[in-house]
């Protein structure tokens, strides 16, 4: 059994007047330990629903989701989430936000060890200088870095990223992608990430999962990304398979499973 | 002919050598304006009132000049503490004391109940209709009920303050608790945050600005209510002072008291606003 296993997972929402909305049908996915997997698909195709099933924030209505052999029955720090809207507490400083997570999860560690853990992750994302500022006083890119630091400080088994760079401008996004890549290559944690950005998926992932459109969305195709680690963006985009893979994904999204424009 | 027409000509109304820069008023003028204009407005209103009173058009209401002369004894006796002739200061102190007591009780009960009602859906559904009806009852309408129950003026007045102030505090607190953003709840869920940590680190800070809005509305209502309640209950208090002034046809007393009541109400509001700014972290 793989480290993260999703078997025949379905999600049905009960609607008003007996109308059921089937968001996902028979989603199957196996993720090996230490693998970086990305989910791509149109808005409303259920990517976040899949992530929430693994996070435990919205359970599958049928099927099984297991992490390290244990079924997912609710949220937990071993499947920590980096939210799209950073979800930092605005009344706490950067350091206090990370410390909140560390204190909640690493209860057996002493005060000094926990402080060290917070400091280590502040340095990891390059926020040592801004540690005592509040989220309102730092940029969007820095806030997402805090979110990533907080998630990693918890030392999760699976890191779940819900369009973590979606709210940022393109240049900041590019920088943070490279930072995430560097961190992941050093720690090799299991990652499931949602994105809209094909280039981001190709740069970061080992495998890209292409979802079909809702309702009853499912896994359409899985693309293997062959680039060797350590990856550098310049080399990756120059590799011959890059544009072939990119075009394959774009064909899937815009031709085979194009999202009809809502009327 | 057309040749001269085609050439663009600049025809300044004054020679270009004159300064073309528009003169901006100096920075301090804005602050002077903020003080000067209201002062002019007050002087204008005062002058109009003086004129109308001089022409006998203001009924029993005396002219400002007369008022100013008549209140001199009050100003001199501001801190009088005789049994039968308490200075305005002591009347105010009595009123403020009642407000302090009633408002503090309302704050404690209002915030506690507000958190419970906001957080627990069954409680909210159970009590919301009741609260919505009770909060529309005018403060003074509670006075007969209170007097009938305790038969004493002072506790009744304090109860009127309490019942006036509690509704904005309770309702705003409940709304603030309900509005805890889903993102923060998700963070707490994923981190398996303990109930205590969730309460003090997420729920309370998130609801804080709503709570202080409720507190600020409540202090204004409480101050209005005490003046009205004291007119009915008598004893020592600024409301009673106003009513007594009316019964003795001392209009100057009333006007003097009104100005002070307005000023104190303004200060109370600022006090709660300042407290809110200090205690609630800026986002």
- Considering the domain boundaries, does residue B98 fall inside one? yes
B89 lies within 8 A of chain A by CB? no
- Considering the domain boundaries, does residue B7 fall inside one? no
Task: Give residue A263's pLDDT band: very low, low, confident or very high (50, 70, 90).
Answer: very low
Cβ neighbours of residue B56 closer than 8 Å, sequence gap 6 or more: none
- Considering the domain boundaries, does residue B51 fall inside one? no
Q: How many structural domains are present in chain B?
A: 1
- Considering the domain boundaries, does residue B106 fall inside one? yes
- Considering the domain boundaries, does residue B220 fall inside one? yes
- Considering the domain boundaries, does residue B178 fall inside one? yes
Cross-chain Cβ contact A83/B197 below 8 Å:
no
Cross-chain Cβ contact B187/A87 below 8 Å:
yes
Contact indicator for B281, A97 with CB cutoff of 8 Å: no
Mean pLDDT of A93-117: 92
Q: Residue B16 pLDDT more than 80?
A: no
Q: Residue B283 pLDDT more than 50?
A: no
B278 lies within 8 A of chain A by CB? no
Cβ neighbours of residue A191 closer than 8 Å, sequence gap 6 or more: A35, A36, A37, A158, A159, A160, A161, A184
Closest CA to A54 of A91, A9, A23, A13: A9
* Per-residue confidence (pLDDT) for residue B18, from 0 to 100: 54
Could you give the CA distance from residue A164 to residue A13 in angstroms, rounded to a whole number?
26
CATH code for the domain of B207: 1.10.3720.10
* Per-residue confidence (pLDDT) for residue B236, from 0 to 100: 84
Distance (Å) from the alpha carbon of B267 to chain A's nearest alpha carbon: 28
Distance (Å) from the alpha carbon of B252 to chain A's nearest alpha carbon: 50
Cis check: omega of the bond before A230, within 30 degrees of 0 = yes
Cross-chain Cβ contact B192/A104 below 8 Å:
yes
| Of A126-135, B17-26, B111-120, the least confident | B17-26
Q: Which of B191, B192, B205, B212 to mutate to test the interface with A (most CBs of A within 10 A)?
A: B191
- Considering the domain boundaries, does residue B47 fall inside one? no
Cβ neighbours of residue A123 closer than 8 Å, sequence gap 6 or more: none
- Chain B residue numbers with beta carbons less than 8 Å from the beta carbon of A75 are 186, 189-190, 192
Q: Which structural domain, as residue segments, surrounds residue B170?
A: 85-282
Cross-chain Cβ contact A85/B183 below 8 Å:
yes
| Closest residue in chain B to residue A82, using alpha carbons only | B187
Q: What is the mean pLDDT of chain A?
A: 90
Cross-chain Cβ contact A104/B189 below 8 Å:
no
Q: Report residue A126 CA to chain centroid gap.
A: 20
CA separation (Å) from B33 to A77, A98, B28, B30? Answer: 58, 48, 9, 5
- Chain B residue numbers with beta carbons less than 8 Å from the beta carbon of A79 are 190
Q: Which of A86, A87, A155 to mutate to test the interface with B (most CBs of B within 10 A)?
A: A87
If you ran DSSP here, which 8-state letter would residue B58 be given? Answer: S
The interface predicted TM-score of the complex, written ipTM, equals: 0.87
Closest CA to B153 of B240, B239, B228, B230: B230
Distance (Å) from the alpha carbon of B143 to chain A's nearest alpha carbon: 42
* Per-residue confidence (pLDDT) for residue B271, from 0 to 100: 92
Mean pLDDT of A121-149: 91
- Considering the domain boundaries, does residue B214 fall inside one? yes
Long-range contacts of A201-205 (CB under 8 A, 24+ apart): A201/A38, A201/A40, A201/A225, A201/A249, A202/A227, A202/A236, A202/A242, A202/A245, A202/A246, A202/A249, A203/A177, A203/A178, A203/A231, A203/A233, A203/A236, A204/A36, A204/A38, A204/A177, A204/A180, A205/A36, A205/A37, A205/A38
Work out the angle between the directed axes of helices B204-233 and B88-119 (0-180°, nearest 10). Answer: 140
Q: Which of B181, B182, B184, B187 to mutate to test the interface with A (most CBs of A within 10 A)?
A: B187
* Per-residue confidence (pLDDT) for residue B186, from 0 to 100: 93
Please report how many Cα atoms fall inside a 13 Å half-sphere around the Cα of residue A194, on the Cβ side.
Answer: 24
Cross-chain Cβ contact A100/B282 below 8 Å:
no
């Amino acid at each position: 059994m793989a480290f993260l296993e999703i078997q025949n997972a379905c999600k049905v929402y009960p609607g008003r007047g007996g109308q059921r909305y089937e968001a996902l049908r028979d989603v199957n996915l196996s993720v090996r330990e230490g693998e970086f997997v990305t989910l791509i698909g149109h808005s409303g195709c259920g990517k976040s629903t899949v992530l929430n099933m693994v996070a435990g924030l919205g359970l599958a209505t049928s099927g099984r989701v297991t992490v390290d052999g244990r079924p997912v029955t609710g949220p937990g720090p071993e499947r920590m989430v980096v939210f799209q809207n950073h979800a930092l507490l605005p009344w706490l400083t950067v350091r206090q936000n990370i410390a909140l997570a560390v204190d909640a999860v690493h209860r057996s560690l002493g005060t000094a060890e926990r402080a060290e853990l917070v400091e280590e992750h502040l340095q990891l994302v390059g926020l040592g200088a801004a540690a005592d500022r509040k989220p309102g006083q730092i940029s969007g890119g820095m806030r997402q870095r805090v979110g990533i630091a907080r998630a990693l400080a918890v030392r999760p088994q699976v890191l779940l990223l819900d369009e973590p760079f979606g709210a940022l401008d393109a240049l900041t996004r590019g920088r943070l992608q490279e930072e995430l890549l560097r961190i992941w290559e050093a720690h090799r944690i299991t990652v499931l990430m949602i994105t809209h950005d094909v280039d981001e998926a190709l740069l970061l992932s080992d495998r890209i999962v292409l979802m079909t459109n809702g309702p009853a969305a499912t896994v359409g195709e899985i693309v293997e990304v062959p680039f060797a680690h350590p990856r550098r963006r310049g080399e990756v985009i120059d590799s011959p398979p890059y544009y072939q893979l990119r075009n394959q994904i774009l064909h899937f999204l815009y031709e085979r499973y194009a999202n009809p424009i809502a009327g | 002919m057309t040749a001269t027409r085609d050439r663009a000509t600049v025809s300044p109304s004054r020679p270009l050598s004159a300064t073309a820069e528009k003169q901006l008023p100096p920075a301090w003028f804005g602050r002077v304006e903020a003080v000067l204009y209201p002062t002019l407005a007050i002087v204008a209103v005062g002058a109009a009132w003086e004129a109308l009173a001089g022409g006998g058009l203001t009924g029993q209401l005396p002219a400002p000049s007369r008022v100013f002369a008549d209140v001199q004894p009050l100003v001199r006796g501001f801190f009088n503490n005789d049994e039968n002739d308490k200075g305005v200061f002591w009347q105010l102190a009595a009123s403020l004391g009642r407000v302090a007591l009633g408002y503090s009780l309302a704050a404690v009960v209002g915030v506690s109940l507000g958190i419970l009602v906001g957080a627990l859906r069954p409680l909210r559904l159970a009590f919301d209709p009741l609260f919505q009806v009770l909060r529309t009852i005018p403060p003074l309408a509670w006075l007969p009920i209170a007097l009938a129950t305790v038969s004493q003026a002072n506790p009744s007045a304090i109860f009127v303050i309490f019942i006036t102030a509690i509704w904005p505090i309770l309702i705003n607190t409940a709304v603030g608790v309900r509005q805890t953003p889903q993102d923060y709840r998700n963070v707490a869920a994923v981190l398996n945050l303990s109930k205590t940590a969730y309460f003090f680190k997420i729920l309370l800070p998130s609801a804080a600005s709503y709570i202080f809005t409720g507190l600020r509305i409540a202090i204004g209502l409480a101050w209005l209510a005490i003046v009205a309640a004291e007119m009915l209950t008598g004893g020592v208090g600024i409301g009673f002072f106003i009513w007594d002034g009316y019964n003795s046809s001392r209009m100057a007393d009333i006007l003097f008291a009104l100005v002070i009541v307005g000023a104190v109400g303004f200060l109370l509001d600022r006090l709660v606003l300042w407290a809110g700014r200090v205690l609630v972290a800026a986002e």
